[in-house]
């Protein structure tokens, strides 16, 4: 290392350190908090080599930003770099989860059902068509919910698919219930009121006349 480089390093502050990320997993676009120490006000941060969006250094121990779009699913390294070139890497600090596409009335599972709430969490059962009998339980914290979505979409055979979707603040969406030829709008309104969330009405197609 040259004498100039040693001088610049000596004039710089302490190297940044990393304690972790909160949350540790989620979809692209989700907000994250980077926890550590010795963050310079002009520090940068990357996940999987991509810069965090809307990055803000709140102080020497906290950086806030968003998970970049276009990242592949899986664990990614977090790197924080100060302007003097000193950096720190936290391997597999954040796991990107790509949300499953929701296909009401014709997807891989029939619907969510058997709703129950306890300890601030909505617990819902996901009944798969194949293999028969497979049930996956999903728990969604009520505090993480942003809104309840309702839509009614016409199908090629003229019937209408009604669907209720729970939308989380991080962008995740969970199919709550769906049904052909049955309006779930009243149920969606009751759910939104019971959970204290707003109801977003999407497409509302009417059944075609026979």
Q: What is the pLDDT of residues 46-100, one digit of tens each?
A: 999 999 999 999 999 999 999 998 888 899 999 999 999 999 999 999 999 876 6
Do 114 and 200 sit in the same domain of this protein? Answer: yes
pLDDT band at 162 (very low <50, low <70, confident <90, very high): very high
Last residue of a domain, one of 96, 127, 147: 96
Same domain, 125 and 177: yes
What CATH number is attached to the domain comprising 52?
2.60.40.10
What is the total count of domains within the chain?
Answer: 2
Q: Is the pLDDT of residue 9 over 60?
A: no
Q: pLDDT digits over 164-178, tens only?
A: 999 887 677 888 888
Highest mean pLDDT among 5-14, 36-45, 171-180, 194-203: 36-45
Which pLDDT belongs to residue 45? Answer: 98
Last residue of a domain, one of 96, 129, 159: 96
Instruction: Give me the residues paired with residue 79 across strands.
Output: 46, 89
- 42 and 129 both lie in a single domain: no
Radius of gyration of the chain (CA): 23
**pLDDT of the residue at 107:** 73
pLDDT of the residue at 125: 81
Helices (H) and strands (E) counted in the chain, each on its own, are 2, 16
Residue 38: domain span: 13-96
Domain CATH number, residue 151: 2.30.29
Q: How confident is the prediction for the chain on average, in pLDDT?
A: 85
* C-alpha–C-alpha distance, residues 33 and 144, integer Å: 16
Answer yes or no: is 6 within a domain: no
DSSP 3-state of 146: strand
Confirm whether 146 is domain-assigned. Answer: yes
Residues 84 and 113 occupy one common structural domain: no
Q: Quick one: residue 5, left, alpha or beta (phi over 0 = left, psi -120 to 50 = alpha)?
A: alpha
* Predicted pLDDT of residue 115: 57
> Given the DSSP bridges, would you call strands 31-37 and 62-66 parallel, antiparallel or unpaired?
antiparallel
Residue 65 has a pLDDT of 96
Same-domain status, 87 and 57? yes
pLDDT(113) > 60: no
pLDDT(121) > 50: yes
């Amino acid at each position: 290392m040259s004498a100039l480089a040693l001088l610049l390093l000596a004039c710089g502050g302490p190297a940044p350190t990393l304690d972790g990320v909160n949350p540790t997993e989620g979809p692209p676009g989700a907000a994250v908090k980077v926890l550590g120490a010795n963050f310079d006000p002009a520090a940068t941060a990357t996940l999987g080599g991509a810069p965090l969006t809307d990055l803000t250094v709140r102080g020497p121990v906290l950086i806030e930003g968003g998970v970049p779009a276009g990242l592949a699913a899986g664990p990614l390294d977090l790197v924080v770099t100060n302007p003097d070139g000193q950096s720190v890497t936290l391997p597999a600090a954040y796991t990107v989860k790509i949300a499953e596409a929701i296909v009401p009335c014709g997807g891989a599972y029939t619907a969510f059902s058997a709703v129950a709430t306890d300890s601030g969490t909505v617990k819902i059962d996901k009944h798969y068509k194949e293999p028969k009998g497979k049930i996956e339980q999903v728990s969604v914290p009520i505090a993480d919910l942003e809104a309840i979505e309702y839509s009614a979409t016409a199908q090629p055979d003229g019937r209408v698919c009604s669907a209720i979707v729970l939308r989380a603040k991080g962008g995740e969406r969970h199919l709550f219930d769906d049904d052909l030829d049955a309006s779930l709008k009243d149920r969606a309104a009751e759910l939104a009121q019971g959970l204290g969330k707003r109801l977003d009405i999407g497409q509302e197609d009417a059944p075609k006349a026979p």
